[in-house]
């Protein structure tokens, strides 16, 4: 069963609670929250204060995607704010395994993310420390970008690798996913699908989640 994680980056921030309610009622499985620091990526978005305030308005698990340098500094803040899953980028920390253990020790699910150009072997020695791997299918920083076609092969290689090692680790993908390519990426092996623009820029926000699920 695939899971849909709407990214609130594409939502109307002036009425965030309402926008979140729409996807929750529409059958979203997770709420994807993109945290950017203006250093790791060329954009600044939201911090723990916002996460804490929207937590009161939503019962979905919070999937917090940290696109920030030295994420270890803020893991505890996001955990306290209400994160259920915390994702750190392998490119953003010198101590990936320590970061992942910090997340697990706080009782949360840990996820490691790879930028499009980062090879899969960077995960070889942390596969026992992750619940999920996030493959970026665009370069992180902005919503509304085009899916990078070479990522389909990367998803398939990761799936084969995890199957070969008999690891039940979720494969999340993020960037440029919509009804036209969700089948391709799920066929390749992705099972947690982030979608920002496809959902929030649609005329029928809630209905789009069903449409995405049906397109698989
Ligand atoms: C990009 C973010 C994504 C983004 C996806 O840096 O990590 O989560 O919001 O947006 P779409 O679905 O519009 O590509
Ligand atoms: Zn994201």
Domain with 155 in it: what CATH number? 3.20.20.70
Report which ligand 1 atom has the smallest distance to the Cα of 140.
6
Q: What residues flank ligand 1, with Cβ below 6 Å?
A: 7, 9-10, 32, 34, 65, 138, 140-141, 143-145, 174-177, 194-198
Arithmetic mean of pLDDT over the chain: 98
Ligand 1 centroid distance, CA of 113 (Å):
13
Q: How far apart are CA 146 and CA 138, in angstroms?
A: 7
Which pLDDT does position 5 carry in this prediction? 99
At residue 153 the predicted structure's pLDDT band, cuts being 50, 70 and 90, is very high
- For residues 62 and 51, what is the distance between their CA atoms, to the nearest angstrom? 9
Q: Is 174 a catalytic residue?
A: yes
The sign one gets for the Cα dihedral 139, 140, 143, 147 is positive
DSSP E strands in the chain: the ranges are: 3-6, 31-36, 62-67, 85-89, 109-114, 132-136, 170-174, 192-195
Question: Measured in whole angstroms, how far is the alpha carbon of residue 188 from the centre of its chain?
Answer: 17
List pLDDT tens digits, range 84-106.
999 999 999 999 999 999 999 99
Neighbours of 60 (CB within 10 A): 16
Over range 40-48, report the average pLDDT.
Answer: 98
Print the domain residue range for 101. 3-214
Number of structural domains the chain divides into = 1
Give the per-residue pLDDT at 88: 99
- Number of neighbours of residue 47 by Cβ within 10 angstroms: 16
- Which pLDDT band holds residue 35 (cuts at 50, 70, 90)? very high
């Amino acid at each position: 069963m695939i899971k849909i994680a709407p990214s609130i980056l594409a939502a109307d921030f002036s009425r965030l609670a309402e926008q979140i309610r729409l996807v929750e009622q529409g059958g979203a499985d997770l709420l994807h929250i993109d945290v950017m620091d203006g250093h790791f990526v060329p954009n600044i978005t939201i911090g723990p204060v916002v996460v804490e305030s929207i937590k009161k308005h939503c019962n979905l698990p919070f999937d917090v995607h940290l696109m920030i340098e030295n994420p270890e500094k803020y893991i505890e803040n996001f955990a306290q704010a209400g994160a259920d899953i915390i994702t750190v980028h392998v490119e953003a920390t010198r101590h990936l395994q320590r970061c992942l253990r910090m997340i697990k020790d706080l009782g949360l699910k840990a996820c490691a993310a790879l930028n499009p150009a980062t090879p899969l072997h960077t995960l070889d020695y942390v596969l026992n420390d992750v619940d999920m791997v996030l493959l970026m299918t665009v370069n992180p920083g902005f919503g509304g970008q085009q899916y990078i076609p070479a990522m389909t092969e990367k998803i398939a290689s990761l799936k084969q690798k995890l199957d070969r090692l008999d690891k039940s680790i979720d494969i999340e993908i993020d960037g440029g996913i919509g009804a036209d390519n969700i089948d391709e990426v799920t066929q390749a092996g992705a099972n947690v699908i982030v979608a920002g623009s496809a959902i929030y820029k649609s005329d029928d926000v809630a209905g789009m989640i069903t449409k995405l699920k049906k397109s698989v």
